Amino acid sequence: MLNFESLRALKTEAKKRLDARLADVPAVYLDETGTYKLRGPYFEKQTRIVLKNCEIIDPENIEEYIALDGYKALADLLEKNVPRREIVDEMIRSGLRGRGGAGFPTGRKWAEALKHDADHKYVICNADEGDPGAYMDRSVLENDPHSVLEGMTIAGLGIGADQGYIYVRAEYPNAVKRLNIAIAAAHKAGLLGERILGTDFSFDIELRLGAGAFVCGEGTALMESIEGRRGMPRNKVYRTAERGLFEKPTIINNVETLANVHHIYLNGADWFAGIGTPKSTGTKVFSVVGKVKDAGLVEVPMGTPLTKIIYDISGGIKNDLAIKAVQTGGPSGGCIPADLIPTTNVDFESLAAIGSIMGSGGLVVMDETDCMVDISRFFMDFTVEESCGKCTPCRIGNKRVLEMLERFIAGNGEPRDLPRLQELCEMIRDTSLCGLGQAAPNPVLSTLKYFRDEYMSHVRDKRCPAGVCKSLMTYVVREKCVGCGLCKINCPVKCITGERKTMHHIDPNACIRCGVCAAKCPVHAIELA
């Protein structure tokens, strides 16, 4: 069991051992300020605070975390006996906003929970990361689990909580394994559990595993799930900070938010507030995926131009095709069209202003070969599958939106469908019970706004400009045809006609678009158009 003194001694020892180990690791170097960093321009162009330890320390070894000032922030607060109010005020001053999506000021959440007296209070870490293609939280949990534990413990100290829960999805087995190792190690070291570091402060953390429901990332559904019920959003009569888990004051913070906490207390709120923009402070981790050359996690200060992330850090568009749009915020977010990309910075305000959201940090880059109707369909398919089924607009409305998009893609849409689609989407946005339903139509609404012509092509001309929607395409025989007849022989529906050594013809009405003819053609004369 550590105390303040032995923690400091351990740090010195552990630092020496870490230095010795990292001296032989070529991917890591020590910069001029004495900080370990990952080598290479991809990393050096980033501002890594949350991801600072990732890929550098051994996440299964608590000493390596301690070596790099881990648990120092917690120890300092405890040793100096800082009053709760001051801890919370420091968080308010830092301007940290929730990284889970909505961007609610973390300090205000804490202050609200501090205000309410109760025999128990809870700190929940929302680690139910579920946006397709997003793995910011997973990276932190797997590579730096103690930063989350320390953040939660400081939060517990600040609001007067005695119990924390990490609600982590079961599909992250590695994260679960490392969290379990980290919790056991912190327990053993006296950094978690009864009388932390020999003080009067006790705080424990338990894991709760999600069972694969995206909606359990919604705070009230998450609490229902922890309490042992079906994960469905609550009708919010009370704020979570007043009556949350088991009807007690509760704060729910996202993994990335909590991973910022100890940095704020180590370096001061002013340091943190100095990063990013005045209203969106600090950094944000983005999961940049899609048609970029270097996909991966990128941590940059809030307010960084989108172009810097896409071109400077992620290397630009694959195959040097033209960029068409960037989708931010996952299935609840919106699409930013190419012409707005050069003027868009990534912070809460700027993204909201153009109809998208920050979300949890998913960033999907699309090029000219992506069909926006199909992209909308993809995201709607996801939310329809993940709706909890409680309220009418989300349960039935989103299903009808999806069906409409599927009709467009199959060539069965009509121009008069577009205003109806718009009306339905707006109704779902304005009337759904929880954030999932309210944000679900965002991908459709934003693409309807910026890519309406593409929708029009689908419903009026029955054409997919990007060449993605197969039902709207036909196979045609080009001039190159040598009349070998291979296509005709292999066509399963016998819709190809033509005499030997003359140009063949495909009947577009009978064609089932299987593509066998194009694959068989020895001279590549058959194309999708």
Note the residues at the interface with another protein (CB under 8 A). 213, 230, 232, 235, 237, 384-393, 395-397, 399-400, 403-404, 420, 423-424, 427, 429-433, 438
The distance of closest approach from Cβ of residue 245 to another protein in the complex, given in angstroms and rounded to an integer, is 20
What are the b/e assignments for 189-201, b being 16+ CB within 10 Å?
A: bbbbbeebbeeeb
Q: Do residues 433 and 380 make contact, with C-beta atoms less than 8 angstroms apart?
A: no
Nearer to another protein, 303 or 443 (CB): 443
Nearer to another protein, 230 or 524 (CB): 230
Q: Do residues 335 and 305 make contact, with C-beta atoms less than 8 angstroms apart?
A: no
Number of neighbouring beta carbons within 10 Å of residue 456: 15
The distance of closest approach from Cβ of residue 391 to another protein in the complex, given in angstroms and rounded to an integer, is 5
End-to-end CA distance of the chain: 71
The distance of closest approach from Cβ of residue 120 to another protein in the complex, given in angstroms and rounded to an integer, is 24
Q: If you write DSSP's letter for every residue of 158-216 in order, what string do you get?
A: HHT--EEEEEEETT-HHHHHHHHHHHHHHHHHTSSBSSGGGSS--BEEEEEEE-S-GGG
Nearer to another protein, 419 or 508 (CB): 419
Strand, helix or coil for residue 346: strand
Q: Which helix (H) or strand (E) holds 290?
A: strand 283-290
Beta bridge partners of 127: 168
The distance of closest approach from Cβ of residue 118 to another protein in the complex, given in angstroms and rounded to an integer, is 21
Nearer to another protein, 238 or 271 (CB): 238
Long-range contacts of 380-387 (CB under 8 A, 24+ apart): 380/405, 380/440, 380/441, 380/443, 380/444, 382/132, 382/214, 382/331, 383/331, 383/332, 383/436, 383/440, 386/130, 386/213, 386/214, 386/215, 386/331, 386/436, 387/215, 387/436, 387/437, 387/440
Q: How far apart are CA 371 and CA 394, in angstroms?
A: 24
The distance of closest approach from Cβ of residue 392 to another protein in the complex, given in angstroms and rounded to an integer, is 5
Nearer to another protein, 213 or 511 (CB): 213
Sign of the C-alpha dihedral, residues 37, 38, 41, 47?
A: negative
Nearer to another protein, 13 or 403 (CB): 403
Beta bridge partners of 37: 29
Sign of the C-alpha dihedral, residues 385, 390, 392, 393?
A: negative
Nearer to another protein, 432 or 457 (CB): 432
Nearer to another protein, 48 or 169 (CB): 169
The distance of closest approach from Cβ of residue 131 to another protein in the complex, given in angstroms and rounded to an integer, is 17
Q: How far apart are CA 107 and CA 83, in angstroms?
A: 15
Q: Do residues 488 and 427 make contact, with C-beta atoms less than 8 angstroms apart?
A: no
The distance of closest approach from Cβ of residue 407 to another protein in the complex, given in angstroms and rounded to an integer, is 9
Q: How far apart are CA 456 and CA 459, in angstroms?
A: 5
The distance of closest approach from Cβ of residue 394 to another protein in the complex, given in angstroms and rounded to an integer, is 8
The distance of closest approach from Cβ of residue 209 to another protein in the complex, given in angstroms and rounded to an integer, is 18
Within a 13 Å sphere around the CA of 286, how many CA atoms are in the beta-carbon half? 33
Nearer to another protein, 2 or 384 (CB): 384
Nearer to another protein, 86 or 385 (CB): 385
Number of neighbouring beta carbons within 10 Å of residue 395: 16
The distance of closest approach from Cβ of residue 350 to another protein in the complex, given in angstroms and rounded to an integer, is 19
Q: How far apart are CA 189 and CA 196, in angstroms?
A: 9
Nearer to another protein, 368 or 381 (CB): 381
Type of residue numbered 333: G
The distance of closest approach from Cβ of residue 387 to another protein in the complex, given in angstroms and rounded to an integer, is 4
